[in-house]
Structure 1
Amino acid sequence: MTEEDIPNTTFLKWVVAILGILIIAVASAIGVILYKRATKATSEMMSETPAPQAPISQAGEPFGVMALTLPEGAKVIRTEVASGRIVVSYGTGPLDISGIYILDVASGAVLGQYTFN
């Protein structure tokens, strides 16, 4: 009987391991690039729409009490502050928003109102 030589597969194992690592690295890089492009597009779309400019009041100048007129049966659902504006959403419930008031933080003036029918 003759003895068969077992082939040396160490080199092949190294090649397979390196290729596996490269595949994972390239897939991760593609995922990061797609994520950055998606978030960049979203931020660009948000910055393209300029907010209306409101008159700037003097610092520390009180603007008093602001009364917003809401439709009958409506209540304030959510209030958010962003970019020097206060956005007040109102409606009959959390899933039924009837309209939005946009107020200036500094002066308290109503900059605009959206109503949804």
Structure 2
Amino acid sequence: MSSQTADDHVFKALAHPRRRELLDQLKDAPQTTGMLCEAFPDIDRCTVMLHLKVLEEAELVVAKREGRERWNHLNALPIKHIHDRWISQYAGHALSIIDRLKSDLEG
């Protein structure tokens, strides 16, 4: 998968608030799909599975079967890649604009 396509998958996955909530649930420790379903009683198991599939396609979640259980693990590397590629570059530019504005206002 090209870097552009990978970025598109990550942005798509992060665009939905429920998927971001699922990632928050996995931030501290892996969880089974059943545990994630219990954490979101307002949506059914099928919907949780669909969200997990989008997260897996973006490589934000890695699922491993252990017996009858499916453990979901957070993979934060795609988020770091987005930060390095997009956020840090634009943040630096924004900070230089703010610094110039501060200098103009003070000066």
TM-score, normalising length: structure 1 = 0.23
Larger Rg: 1
Higher percent of residues as helix: 2
TM-score, normalising length: structure 2 = 0.25
Task: Say which structure, 1 or 2, has more relative contact order (CA 8 Å, 6+ apart).
Answer: 2
Higher percent of residues as strand: 1
